[in-house]
Amino acid sequence: MSLAYLVSVFLHVILAAFWIGGMLFLPLIILPGIKHHPDRIALLYRTGLRFRFYGWIALFGLFLTGLTNFLFRGIPLTWTFFSGSDYGKLVMYKSLIFLVILLVSGVHDFFLGKKALETLQNSPNHQLRQLARWSGRINLLLALLMAFLGVVLSRGGVLVY
């Protein structure tokens, strides 16, 4: 194993920990901590914007390190590989889930979350707030599934039922 491959895997794990940790930190620590704060909406908005910036950097880094890890392991990015083995299918599922995460993150970060915070300042829109919450929860569940699949793949890629 080359040092470059180990560094790429290390960065991939650190970026995944940052991404998942940030998604847990906001609802478990920040939101309860500012529940009765008079500037709650402004704090949430600033915190969300800051995490959004670093979150997208983490997602971009996860894409790059994931692709780099494929290349270091000699994984062919062909349809035959993705459809011809259990390992290939898991890699394909992980890749598809990542694309869904990008989509849900984009909708959450640039539409639902932003609009929910803007409307909270003027008038409470509970439906928009619920959609923003659920898109964040769905993203967290997908990220946890991705982490699980990463563990399975790193252990040989075979699921025994």
Contact predicate 34/44, CB 8 Å: yes
Span 32-59, pLDDT tens digits? 888 888 888 788 888 888 888 999 999 9
Span 69-121, pLDDT tens digits? 989 988 888 889 888 888 889 999 999 999 999 999 998 888 877 666 666 66
Cite the DSSP H helix spans in 26-161: 31-33, 40-72, 79-84, 86-107, 113-122, 126-154
**One-letter identity of residue 46:** R
Cβ-in-10-Å burial (0-12, 13-18, 19+) of 147 comes to middle
Residue bearing the bigger pLDDT, 50 or 124: 50
CA–CA gap between residue 44 and residue 160 (Å, rounded): 43
Model confidence, pTM? 0.85
DSSP 138: H
